[in-house]
């Protein structure tokens, strides 16, 4: 029974993966190639056929072969529109981390201030509720107009989308610190700064880290769409450029890379959250 608890989930994951690959392979067999496509896609497929490009949906073996090619040379650079997946991911990660860290520098101190004062909390709440639902991509035209740089504009969009989860969770975590702990600190005549770092921060840290974990996931989602809009270099632009080239195989490779990087980022923040969480 203990062995089943340890190995049950991994074995089930492998079984599901193999089943998915089997279904995918069966669906791409020549006899299973009948599918309904819309008029626009049919037009694109016709153009691809006229130019000698392969338009059928790739089989797992084709995608596996393309993944191996990218792994052998992930950082090649053959011009503006032909760079390796490693370079594309590096540009995207750099933009995400820049915007994310800037958001943390703003959101966490501001969240502390809002959370420690019920008056400021109530005063700031309407602004947060109005600005929070706005799609980060809605800020892109204003960013391009004011900043005049597509890369900086993408960082600004990441800053905006990362700001709100961290700000809200920090304010909530600080406001939720037990009054008894604060009363003890006040009784012992502990100063405000020391109380903030020795009492409030450790108590609110799990909630703050949860906000940071949510933010990194949103940031990684948004950067793909932002790079499709601004072009240049990045995994989002890579996906859009490969669509223009009708290279579905490369698009699937990029999708897999995006998912794996997102998983690593989430697991990293999850591990950090556990480090600051006190056992019950």
Q: Which has more pLDDT, 213 or 36?
A: 213
The pLDDT of residue 1: 57
The pLDDT of residue 261: 94
Render pLDDT for 221-246 as a digit per residue (tens, 0 to 9).
Answer: 999 999 988 877 889 999 998 888 88
Predicted confidence (pLDDT) at residue 16 exceeds the cutoff of 60: yes
Percent of the chain with pLDDT over 70: 88
In which band, very low, low, confident or very high, does the pLDDT at 280 lie, cut at 50, 70 and 90? low
State the average pLDDT over residues 246-271: 93
CA-wise closest residue to 269 among 138, 128, 166, 143: 166
Point out the least confidently predicted range of 75-84, 95-104, 155-164, 209-218: 75-84
Q: Evaluate whether residue 130 is within a structural domain.
A: yes
State the average pLDDT over residues 27-39: 56
The pLDDT of residue 187: 75
Q: Evaluate whether residue 153 is within a structural domain.
A: yes
* pTM of the predicted protein model: 0.83
Q: Evaluate whether residue 238 is within a structural domain.
A: no
How many CA atoms, within 13 angstroms, populate the side-chain half-sphere of residue 207?
20
Q: Evaluate whether residue 12 is within a structural domain.
A: no
The pLDDT of residue 30: 74
Q: Evaluate whether residue 50 is within a structural domain.
A: no
Render pLDDT for 198-213 as a digit per residue (tens, 0 to 9).
Answer: 788 888 889 999 999 9
Q: Evaluate whether residue 27 is within a structural domain.
A: no
Domain that holds residue 162: 94-232
For tokens 């900086």, the residue is: 152
Q: How many domains does the chain have?
A: 1
In which band, very low, low, confident or very high, does the pLDDT at 117 lie, cut at 50, 70 and 90? confident
Predicted confidence (pLDDT) at residue 11 exceeds the cutoff of 60: yes
The CATH number assigned to the domain holding 121 equals 1.10.3720.10
Q: Evaluate whether residue 253 is within a structural domain.
A: no
Quote the Cα angle for 200-204-210, to 5°.
Answer: 160
């Amino acid at each position: 029974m203990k062995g089943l608890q340890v190995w049950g989930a991994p074995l089930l994951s492998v079984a599901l993966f193999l089943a998915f690959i089997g279904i995918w392979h069966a669906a791409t067999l020549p006899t299973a190639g009948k599918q309904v496509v819309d008029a626009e896609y049919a037009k694109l497929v016709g153009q691809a056929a006229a130019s000698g490009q392969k338009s059928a949906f790739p089989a797992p073996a084709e995608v596996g072969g393309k993944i191996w090619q990218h792994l052998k040379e992930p950082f090649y650079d053959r011009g503006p529109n032909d760079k390796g997946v490693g370079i594309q991911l590096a540009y995207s990660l750099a933009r995400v981390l820049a915007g994310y860290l800037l958001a943390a520098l703003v959101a966490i101190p501001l969240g502390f201030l809002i959370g420690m004062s019920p008056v400021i909390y109530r005063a700031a709440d309407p602004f947060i509720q109005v600005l929070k639902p706005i799609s980060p991509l809605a800020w892109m035209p204003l960013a391009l107009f004011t900043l005049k740089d597509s890369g900086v504009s993408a960082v600004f969009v990441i800053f905006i989308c990362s700001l709100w989860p961290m700000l809200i969770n920090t304010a909530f975590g600080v406001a939720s610190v037990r009054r008894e702990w604060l009363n003890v600190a006040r009784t012992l005549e502990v100063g405000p700064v020391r109380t903030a770092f020795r009492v409030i921060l450790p108590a609110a840290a799990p909630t703050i880290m949860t906000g940071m974990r949510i933010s990194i996931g949103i940031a990684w989602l948004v950067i793909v769409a932002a790079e499709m809009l601004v072009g240049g270099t990045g995994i989002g632009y890579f996906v859009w450029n490969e669509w223009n080239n009708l290279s579905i195989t490369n698009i699937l490779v990029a999708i897999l890379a995006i998912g794996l990087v997102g998983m690593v980022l989430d697991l990293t923040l999850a591990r950090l959250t556990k480090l600051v969480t006190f056992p019950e």
